[in-house]
Structures are given as structure tokens and as C-alpha cells.
Structure 1
């Protein structure tokens, strides 16, 4: 059932600014997901701006305030990181996803194919020229950025590859995930909007060299990208460009999440990812969302404690970097 009037950020986030920011990011991610679910798949002209923040019940028969596979996979990825001390394997995540899948709403086509392959073979999906660069890897990857500080770039990118490979092997899907993780990492440091855009552009340049063109993301960071008239597709690069565009165009969660939904198409993923970045940058702005109590977080208890565990991983990674520097 939806939350009561008490803010979920007032409970168990624990000590430390990083834990508070990560908790805010998790809640904002789920809030963006729930806000977008009723409008998923609609073109922008069929998104009623006045109704968005009222969280109408989704047409597909889900309860009002429901989250989708976006939040479910994000929480799975976060728990996988925490439970493995920040060293998960691709199979660690895929096994957890397969166990959880019967209760997860709205799994995407690439993820469903990977799960079918896993059930048939007990193996990870193999790379194929037919792999579609859909956004499922980027969808769940924000916890990597929350758990790894900005200057541990090799560690962050390696984790992006590992968690992406569980279901998504298309190079562009992995590159898009790397951009989301980079922004999430800088957001936990309290980076301003310009710094987040710079981080996105820099990671897109790196990812473009390794995984293929990421021009749309770099263009969005510089204000040279426009949302598609038909709505944002499942394409990973287009999705991340839309998230970067939202961050550039809006000042904080209160404006950003409804604006993300207004772009149409894959509304829940774009809004969730924008929330996952901006909630870390501005957790107080998440608390101030007047409609937050309508979001059903009941399926994902213990987010505050999970945030503490991810912040501990972040501190361990930072301490490792300091030790390397001292040596």
C-alpha cells in the first residue's frame, strides 16, 4: 500500500551524508518509476501534465503508485553489490533476477530473452550481432555509481560491464550504463548540474571510443538534443540522452520527474533514472515531493539500511584509493 504521511527519508538512512544521499536517490528512483508507469508507451501529446502527479492507477491493472521492473532491478543490483562486498559476478545478478522474476512487473524484451536462455542452459547470454541495445542495463546500474566514488573509474566501469552482461551484451547498452553510473557517482558528492553534465559528456566520450557512438548523450549534455516527437524509445543511448536532457532542463526532483514523464515513451525508466541522479544530489528535494506518499514502496523495505551498506562500500573504495596514493 502507498506510504503514509511520514517521509520515507526520515526513517533508517543512518549516519553519514553519503548514506542520506543514496537513500534519497533510491526513493527518488522509485518515485520516478511510479510516476511514469501510468503513461508508459504513450506519445508526449497523450501525457496529461495535470494528472501526472496524481499518480492515476495504471491501465494495465497494476495498483496505484506501483513501481515496475526498473525499481525491482535497481534494488536487486544494490543488494547484489552489498551482499558481495562490491564484487558481484554476472551470474550472481542473473541468478537473483531469475529467482525474483515471477514477481517483477514489466520486464523488458532483452531481459526476458536472457532469462529464457538462462532457464534453458543455466548460462549467461552469449554476445550476438543480433543483440539490441535496449536500456535494461542502464535501468539498474545507478547503484554502481552510488557505491563507487567518482575517481575509481576503472572499478566503476568494470562493475557496469559485469552487471550489464547478465542480460545485455550489446556494446551500446553497456556504454549507456556507464554514463548513468558516472552521473550517479558524482551526484552522491553533491555535484551541481553543470558538473553532472560534464561527467555525462566525459563518460560518453570514453564510452564512444570503447562501445560505439554516444553522440546523442554528448549532444544532450550541451543542449543540442531534442526529445523524439513520438516519445523516448527503449534504445539505451536515446534513453540516457533523455535523462541528461532532463537534468539539463530542470532544477531538481520536483520539476524533473514530471518533466521526464512528459517526454512520453519509456516514461518510467527516464523518470526513474533522473530521480536516481537528482535524488542523490538533492535528497531534501525528494522529501519535499508532495505526492511522494502515493508511491508504493512496500515491495522494497529496508532501503535506508541498504543505502548505509552501499555508502560503506563507497567509503571502502575511497579508502583503497587513498591507500594506493599514499603508497
Structure 2
């Protein structure tokens, strides 16, 4: 059963990313005017300078970096090694020519340039608050049991450190990874979501490095907004206007948790709602739909959408699933 949920998290990440790619970084009004309603995979429009590099059902840097993280974990036999993670992400960035395309976030670009220049991860500043750590956190949720919170936060911080070391960025990655890990254990969404503000507060206050607003408070606001809204469109509009759907962790992670709630945890519905939200649609979709996939397992992903993702991207998620499950079981037994 855990294998199905790990596969669900990985496919969910990819589904949300690829569905949200065409509309990424566009205002909500422009998404509506251009697409009407996105409910299937579409190619990136030529006039979208972030999505124009991608074809129908292709995923973006979110999933590429998540798989780079998974590759580094496998190379290090289940251990989290920041320099190996940085090397794998850099390898992807160079192969994709990401430095010359509008696909890397500002924080990641600065960090990867320093890694490319030979600087060890331990010496990097990386105090940015963008969502680059949270967007690639799904393999960490698959790998790490959520039993010891202090250790969980330390491990996520280590994995985030090649590009993000700030309290907020780490807390955002912890929220996404912890929700996925508990879902893989078979925990209900209601119990997971009730615990998330406390998890966020603990992670953000573990080592304060910024003057950020509280992620826990923003999560509570996002959930309250969805639960009190009158219908799907009104809820999405309020999430966009009030919580925010930008590239900062303080907006996009609460928005993603809100979208899990709004979609009733259905991964296919979640991917579609995120794609139409506006803002950082691919990243919010990747994070939210990964959680939905972990909650329900890979069998909950629409088989037609899954087949299209497989065909276009030549995915072998069983390879990642087998390794991550094996390492998780080793950690659970330790």
C-alpha cells in the first residue's frame, strides 16, 4: 500500500506540474482570458516566457528538481548529502540550459552559480524565501518517516540547503514533505491538515533567519478562506487575492494546502483547480497534487492522464518508488 502512495505522490507532483505549466506566472485574469478553463494538458503558449519551452504534458523545473533530489538520495544510498543534491540539480540545469531560460527562480540561480564555481553548500548564504525547496520536497515525504519531528526538520533543512537555507523556505518544504509522509502512512487528510500549522510553526521557529510573516498563521488563513467561501470560483479568487499565489513560500505553500482542501483531496480535480488559479500554477499544482496522490495512491490518478505523462516524459517512477520505499523502511526500522 505504501508503494502505491509513494507512486501517487510522484505522479501527483508531475500531474500538477504539467497541468499548471501553460498558465504559470500569469495573472489570474490573463489565465481566464487566454485559456477560459484548463482541464487537460496543453502546450506552453509562445507568449508565456516561462512556459514557452515546454510541450503538452511536459513537466517543468519543479519535477525536474524533485527527480534530481531523488537521484542524489539514490546515489548516496538513502542518505541526504547536500553537495550531491546540489551537483544533481546543477547537472539538470546545465543539460536543460536553465541558466539561459526563464525557468530558474532567483534564489536557485544564485546558489547554482556558486555551486558551479566550486563553492561547497555549507558555505552558501541561501537565505531566500522563494518556494524552490518546497516545490521539490515530495521525494523527502516519500523517504522520511514523520515520527521524530526534530530529525525530520533537520533532514529537510539539509536537503533544502543547496538552494534554500531560510527559516521560511525550510518550513514550507517541511509542511509539504510532512503532509506527504503522513499520507503515505495512511493518515487521514483531516488529521494531517489539523496538525500542519503546528508543524509549520515548529519548523519556522527552529532557527530564525528572516523577518517573515508566520507560515502557520498563513496556513490557518488559507484554510479558513476555503472553508468559508461560497463555491469553487469564489474560493479560488479569494485564495489568489488574500493568501496569494506567488513564488514566495509564504504565499504558494498555504495556497497549495488550501487547494488540497478545496479539491476534496482528489488529485485530478486538484491539478485542474491549481492550473486555473493564476500565479505560480505549476508549483502550487505540483505541491498540492503530490499530497492528493499520496493520500489516495497512484490508482486515483486518471489513467488517461497518467498514460500521457508516461508517454511524453518516458517516466520510470517504479525505479524511484522501489528505492525510496526501501530507504524509508530502513529508517523506520532504525
Report the TM-score when normalising by structure 2.
0.83
| Residue 67 (structure 1) aligned with residue 59 (structure 2) | yes
Cα deviation, 1:214-269, whole Å, max 9, x if unaligned, reads: 22123334547942339611101211101110112111112111111222110000
Give the equivalent residue in structure 2 for 1:281. 295
Deviation for aligned residue 1:63: 1.6
Name the structure 2 match of 1:325: none
Question: Cα gap change, 1:287/1:121 in structure 2, threshold over 3 Å: closer, same or farther?
Answer: closer
Kept in 2, the 8 Å contact 1:142–1:181? The answer is yes
Give the CA deviation at 1:196.
Answer: 2.2
Matched, 1:108 2:109: no
Q: List aligned pairs for 1:1-327, cutoff 5 A.
A: 17-48=1-32, 51-59=37-45, 60-104=52-96, 106-124=103-121, 126=123, 128=125, 131-210=127-206, 211=208, 213-214=214-215, 215-223=217-225, 226-229=238-241, 232-251=245-264, 252-284=266-298, 286-288=300-302, 290-295=304-309, 298-299=312-313, 301-320=315-334
d(CA) in 2 for partners of 1:79, 1:21: 19
C-alpha distance in structure 2 between counterparts of 1:299 and 1:103, whole Å: 15
**Alpha-carbon deviation of 1:127?**
5.6
Supply the distance in 1 between the matched residues of 2:53 and 2:88 (Cα, whole angstroms).
26
1:30, 1:272 within 8 Å by CA — same for their partners in 2?
A: yes
Tell me if structure 2 keeps the 8 A contact 1:70–1:139.
Answer: yes
Query: 2:114 and 2:276 mapped to 1: Cα distance?
Result: 35
C-alpha separation in 1, matches of 2:303 and 2:186? 19
Judge which range, 311-320 or 42-51, deviates more: 42-51
Q: Tell me, in whole angstroms, the C-alpha distance in 1 between the residues paired with 2:90 and 2:253.
A: 26
**Pair 1:136–1:77, CA change in 2 (3 A):** same
Distance in 2 between residues matched to 1:31 and 1:147, nearest whole Å = 20
C-alpha distance in 2 between matches for 1:84 and 1:92: 8
Instruction: Give structure 2 stretches of 5+ with no counterpart.
Output: 46-51, 228-237
Post-superposition offset of 1:101: 1.1
Distance in 2 between residues matched to 1:125 and 1:284, nearest whole Å: 37
The answer to which of 230-239 and 24-33 deviates more is 230-239
Runs of 4 or more, structure 1, over 3 Å off, are 48-51, 125-128, 221-226, 284-287, 289-294, 296-301
| Residue 153 (structure 1) shift | 2.3
Give the conservation status (yes or no) of the 8 Å contact 2:267–2:301.
Answer: no
Query: Gaps (5+ residues) in structure 1?
Result: 1-16, 321-327
Cα distance in 2 for partners of 1:297, 1:88 equals 30
Aligned residues: 303
Change (3 A) 1:47 1:292: farther
TM-score (norm 1): 0.85
Cα separation, partners in 2 of 1:79 and 1:286, compared to 1, 3 Å? farther
**Cα offset, 1:300, TM superposition:** 5.6
The CA RMSD measured in Å over matched residues stands at 2.3
| Equivalent-residue separation in structure 2 for 1:285 and 1:260 (angstroms) | 20
209-218 or 224-233: which moved more? 224-233
Q: Secondary structure at the match of 1:66?
A: coil
Native 8 Å contact 1:239 1:270 kept in 2: yes
